[in-house]
């Protein structure tokens, strides 16, 4: 996934932002919930399914409608398109056998020559690279330790120190090794957390690591005397040569091969210290141990090398100008609609470095929001993945004075700009009536509701405690492990509720959509990337106990 805007929730609350304006993949992961990255899975109209046919309509032949990518390098929609040089290298590599340790050595040396790093390694994606480096820092190349992972009892290096701002869903790869994550909020806390148990320090590129007390340079100043490695996750960044993170003190930097570099989708790139990368290679497939499940083949290895070879020769300014041309085509078309404005943003950061177009309008005049435009574009042909946002004025969920969509250029293909321009013009220029007032609720839902959830292969019981004020609902949602706030609406008998479970590095949004029938309701729970569950709920029946309660005057005289 591509994915860093500082304090993403706060930024979205305060102003219209794009998910591509210098964001790291961690922020885009969270912004996917906030800015309505359409859940494309299962969203296309029913299509005829038949035998697989290779060619331009390979996906349609099995009933899947492709997507025009105006969103960025999100893994869930395919990230990037592999370069022709990459596909040629992978095809050639597939025609021969090779000893993989010999291949890794040769490729590691060539990557070092190309990038100026001490060594290079190809992994099965960036997350796999994070896992292998963590294993290397825990086991140090000792296979007896390696084979015990994730049981770290008796080992010295068992902790990873990480700024809380660097936590994300991607650090599951690190936790899979069995290490204890030591979260810190300040430079002082970080320095105190470093000990002989510290296997490494993990940092997300961008944000606080760029400057200030938690900058990479400052962290390196604390780590170097203790010989503690620093792993920098730069998954969605453009590749810098010489490498900016290594120059600032990082020990290893990890990239996604299938994002900005446009290499194989199932490859990652690790650059840095040779001894640690050799231990990381030992901890990866084809070798047995905790990394065997993250196999990178000879095809991906050579494809990744071809992508780096192409990167150093690429006309990056020419590509940027081409992307700006795509956005200009779209801007000229959509601004023909009265009340629609469009502005280009050109980020200065390294992560998700692409120009984007922010298309804005007053939803009270066009009677459609950015989220609704993104949903319409995602569900109907030609399918387009867009970002959406709004400038919120007042209460968190109030109607906003401005709404917007954003178009990210760098993953668009030739001709996409004209298709997108015409499609968005058609949606925005359509005449619509104002939305009618919400229908009166059929019932008051205040009180406790016992909820049965049905996932793909298990069931669970949750509790909702709701307060109702007209059409608005708010209260608490007790899940399997925590209780969090919930809010929503009831319109007639249609109920919509939303809550978010937040844990370090992760979040899960539950969107309940159901129908109320007396003292029961049923429907679906939309969970974003975790797909959909079913639910039924019933109003809690309290025992009818009516009796006086005696309050004792002191401690009991007997039990």
CATH number where 332 lies: 3.90.1150.180
* Structural domain includes residue 401: yes
Provide the strand spans (E) within 208-306. Answer: 230-233, 252-256, 268-272
> Can you spell out the DSSP letters for 206-230?
SGGGSSSTTSHHHHHHHHGGGT--E
What pLDDT is stored for residue 504 in this prediction? 86
**Among the three residues 313, 342, 367, which one is the final residue of a domain in this structure?**
313
* Structural domain includes residue 552: no
SS3 assignment, position 305: helix
Give the domain range for residue 180: 84-313
User: Does one domain contain both 495 and 534?
Assistant: yes
User: Does one domain contain both 124 and 43?
Assistant: no
What pLDDT is stored for residue 203 in this prediction? 97
* Structural domain includes residue 490: yes
User: Does one domain contain both 95 and 116?
Assistant: yes
pLDDT tens digits, 152-162: 999 999 999 99
CB–CB of 70/408 below 8 Å? Answer: yes
* Structural domain includes residue 203: yes
- Find, among 223, 226, 212, the residue nearest to 190 by Cα: 223
* Structural domain includes residue 375: yes
The number of distinct structural domains making up the chain is: 3
pLDDT tens digits, 424-456: 999 999 999 999 999 999 999 999 999 999 999
- State the Rg of the chain over Cα: 26
* Structural domain includes residue 437: no
Cα 277–279–284 angle (5° rounding)?
Answer: 90
Residue 554 CA to residue 559 CA, distance in Å, equals: 13
User: Does one domain contain both 65 and 131?
Assistant: no
Residue 64 CA to residue 7 CA, distance in Å, equals: 36
**Among the three residues 313, 334, 361, which one is the final residue of a domain in this structure?**
313
pLDDT tens digits, 31-44: 443 333 444 444 44
CATH number where 234 lies: 3.40.640.10
Instruction: Judge whether residue 2 has pLDDT over 50.
Output: no
* Structural domain includes residue 442: no
Cα torsion through 183, 184, 185, 187, rounded to 10: -160
User: Does one domain contain both 14 and 46?
Assistant: yes
User: Does one domain contain both 339 and 307?
Assistant: no
User: Does one domain contain both 16 and 67?
Assistant: yes
* Structural domain includes residue 145: yes
Among the residue ranges 5-9, 363-367, 472-476, 483-487, the one predicted with the least confidence is: 5-9
Environment class of 311 (CB within 10 Å of its CB; exposed 0-12, middle 13-18, buried 19+) = buried
Confidence bin at 22 (pLDDT 50/70/90): very low
User: Does one domain contain both 20 and 128?
Assistant: no
User: Does one domain contain both 258 and 305?
Assistant: yes
pTM: 0.88
**Among the three residues 429, 460, 492, which one is the final residue of a domain in this structure?**
429
CATH number where 524 lies: 2.40.128.120
Residue with structure tokens 């229908």?
439
User: Does one domain contain both 213 and 266?
Assistant: yes
> Can you spell out the DSSP letters for 108-119?
HHHHHHHH-SSE
CB–CB of 428/373 below 8 Å? Answer: yes
User: Does one domain contain both 279 and 345?
Assistant: no
User: Does one domain contain both 398 and 511?
Assistant: no
Confidence bin at 17 (pLDDT 50/70/90): very low
Residue with structure tokens 């609609």?
337
Residue 261 CA to residue 269 CA, distance in Å, equals: 10
């Amino acid at each position: 996934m591509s994915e860093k805007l500082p304090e993403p929730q706060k930024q979205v609350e305060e102003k219209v932002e794009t998910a591509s304006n210098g964001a790291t993949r961690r922020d885009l992961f969270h912004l996917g919930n906030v800015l309505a990255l359409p859940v494309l899975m299962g969203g296309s109209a029913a299509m005829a399914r038949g035998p697989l046919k290779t060619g331009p309509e390979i996906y349609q032949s099995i009933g899947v409608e492709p997507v025009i990518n105006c969103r960025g390098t999100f893994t869930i929609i395919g990230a990037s398109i592999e370069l022709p040089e990459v596909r040629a290298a992978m095809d050639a590599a597939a025609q021969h056998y090779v000893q993989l340790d010999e291949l890794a050595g040769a490729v590691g040396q060539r990557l070092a020559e190309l990038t100026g790093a001490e060594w290079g390694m190809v992994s099965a994606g960036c997350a796999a690279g994070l896992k292998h480096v963590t294993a290397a820092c825990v086991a140090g190349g000792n296979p007896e330790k390696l084979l015990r992972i994730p049981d770290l009892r008796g080992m010295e290096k068992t902790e990873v120190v990480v700024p809380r701002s660097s936590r994300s869903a991607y650090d599951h790869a690190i936790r899979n090794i069995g290490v204890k994550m030591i979260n810190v909020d300040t430079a002082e806390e970080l320095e105190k957390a470093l000990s002989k148990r510290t296997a490494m320090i993990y940092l997300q590129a961008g944000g606080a690591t760029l400057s200030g007390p938690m900058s990479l340079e400052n962290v390196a100043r604390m780590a170097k005397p203790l010989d503690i490695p620093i792993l920098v996750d730069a998954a969605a960044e453009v590749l810098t040569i010489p490498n900016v993170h290594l120059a600032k003190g990082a020990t290893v930097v990890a990239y996604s091969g299938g994002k900005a570099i446009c290499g194989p989708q199932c490859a990652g790139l690790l650059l840095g210290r040779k001894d640690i990368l050799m231990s990381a290679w030992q901890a990866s497939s084809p070798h047995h141990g905790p990394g065997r499940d993250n196999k990178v083949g000879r095809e991906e290895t050579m494809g990744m090398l071809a992508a780096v070879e192409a990167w150093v020769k690429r006309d990056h300014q020419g590509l940027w100008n081409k992307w700006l041309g795509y956005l200009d085509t779209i801007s000229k078309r959509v601004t023909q609609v009265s009340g629609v404005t469009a502005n280009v943003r050109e980020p200065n950061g390294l992560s998700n470095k692409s120009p984007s177009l922010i298309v804005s309008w007053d939803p009270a005049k066009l009677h459609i929001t950015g989220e609704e435009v993104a949903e319409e574009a995602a569900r109907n042909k030609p399918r387009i993945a867009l970002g959406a946002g709004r400038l919120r004025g007042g209460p968190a969920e109030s109607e906003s004075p401005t709404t917007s969509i954003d178009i990210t250029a760098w993953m668009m293909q030739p001709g996409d700009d004209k298709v997108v321009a015409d499609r968005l013009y058609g949606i925005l220029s359509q005449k619509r009536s104002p939305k009618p007032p919400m229908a009166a609720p059929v019932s008051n839902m205040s009180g406790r509701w016992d909820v049965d959830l049905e996932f793909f292969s298990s069931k669970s019981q949750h509790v909702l405690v709701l307060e109702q004020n007209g059409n608005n609902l708010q209260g608490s949602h007790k899940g399997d492990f925590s209780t969090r706030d919930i809010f929503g609406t009831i319109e007639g008998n249609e109920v919509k509720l939303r809550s978010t479970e937040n844990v370090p590095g992760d979040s899960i949004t539950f969107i309940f959509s159901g129908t109320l029938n007396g003292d029961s309701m049923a429907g679906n729970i939309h969970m974003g990337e975790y797909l959909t569950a079913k639910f039924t709920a019933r109003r809690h029946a309290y025992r009818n106990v009516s009796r006086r309660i005696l309050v004792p005057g002191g401690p009991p005289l007997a039990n």
